[in-house]
Amino acid sequence: MTTSSSSGKIILFGEHAVVYGRPAIAVPVSHLRASATITAAPPGSRCTLFAQDMGEEIHLADAPPDHPLALVLRLALDEANIRTEPDWHILLASQIPIASGLGSGAAISAALVRAVLTHAGQPAPPDTISRLVYRSEELFHGTPSGIDNTVIAHERPVWFVKGRPPQPFAVGAPFTIAIADSGIVSPTKETVGDVRRAWEADPAPYEATFSRIADVVHGARRAIHDGNCAAIGALMNLNQSRLAELGVSSPALERLIAAAKDAGAVGAKLSGGGRGGNVIALVDEDSAGAVQAALLATGAKRVLFTQISQTSSGEFSG
């Protein structure tokens, strides 16, 4: 039996603009995980995926070529040089809410690839996992930037520009982010598709907003390097205004963001595709409890905390 797991993720700065070549900053959320467990099945039973949380049972031989999980499994088997369908039961389980901006699809795919390679006795380097997961992200998301598969495969904070190797970034002082689930399901494919259609219809203002978001992301890198919490928070607020200009915020998200700030958060924004999913808020020791209570009182389904520190942000290995 082999079990492998992968973390969820949040985008701190730069979502959507990253699809158009601007930089973004993302971090793993290591205590939210998806897992894949492979067990040997009786000879002749072939390969079946049990996707617990989606209530799906997928027989590999019958799955259409564009089924995202079947695709990623076929790619992983190919990468592991397994040419004949193996007799395996694969159980997929996830604590990461679906369609909420936390990278659930990429995390399940990454756990699956890692489990297949490990079960086959092969190395499972992050770059290989990232490359294969990107292929399933294309089916889930349409035109992904590649940031989700990268941060999840490496499980490290990343400075990311589409098409380039990820870079680590310096964290001058640890900081704490509250992650509040609005409970509103919002597939990334839809918000990314809407932004794309609007950009195609009238590119100039969208390009200008993407470039202003890039300025915010560069500023955030400096503020994080300097450990300047007030500046990080102000830049989160600025990023949120730009995301609202792109049309990916919503009244429910704005209410959660306002509640967090009123309760003492240093800054707050949506994270990921937007319209629903999660908002993130920068908190300190004094404000964390009040921010959590305010978010729950304003309708958040749950609030988690994650700390971003230098120890989680070292060199990358392949």
Query: Which positions touch ligand MEV (CB under 6 A)?
Result: 11, 15-16, 18-19, 101, 141, 144-145, 147-148, 188, 192, 272-273
Q: How far is the CB of 110 from ligand MEV (least distance, A)?
A: 14
Q: How far is the CB of 248 from ligand MEV (least distance, A)?
A: 8
Q: How far is the CB of 8 from ligand MEV (least distance, A)?
A: 10
Q: How far is the CB of 145 from ligand MEV (least distance, A)?
A: 3
Q: How far is the CB of 277 from ligand MEV (least distance, A)?
A: 9
Nearer to ligand MEV, 145 or 182 (CB): 145
Nearer to ligand MEV, 134 or 175 (CB): 134
Question: CA dihedral defined by 298, 95, 305, 114, rounded to 10 degrees?
Answer: -150
Taking a C-beta distance cutoff of 8 angstroms, is the pair 25, 169 a contact?
Answer: yes
Nearer to ligand MEV, 18 or 129 (CB): 18
Within 13 Å and on the Cβ side, how many CA atoms surround 186?
26
Within 10 Å of residue 67's Cβ, how many Cβ atoms? Answer: 18
Nearer to ligand MEV, 179 or 294 (CB): 179
Q: How far is the CB of 9 from ligand MEV (least distance, A)?
A: 7
Nearer to ligand MEV, 126 or 146 (CB): 146
- The closest alpha carbon to 295, from 178, 186, 184, belongs to 178
280: Cβ contacts below 8 Å, ≥ 6 apart: 10, 12, 177, 178, 179, 180, 236, 268, 269, 270, 271
CA distances from 283 to 60, 262, 291, 305 (A): 45, 12, 8, 9
Q: How far is the CB of 141 from ligand MEV (least distance, A)?
A: 6
CA distances from 99 to 187, 207, 227 (A): 5, 26, 31
Nearer to ligand MEV, 15 or 155 (CB): 15
Q: How far is the CB of 302 from ligand MEV (least distance, A)?
A: 19
| Residue that is written with structure tokens 């990232």 in the block | 130
Amino acid at 231: A
Nearer to ligand MEV, 86 or 103 (CB): 103
Nearer to ligand MEV, 15 or 181 (CB): 15
| Residue that is written with structure tokens 């007799």 in the block | 87
Tokens for 181?
A: 């689930």
DSSP H helices, 142-187, are 147-154
Q: Which residue is nearest to ligand MEV (CB)?
A: 145
Residue 129, Cβ density class (10 Å: 0-12 exposed, 13-18 middle, ≥19 buried): buried
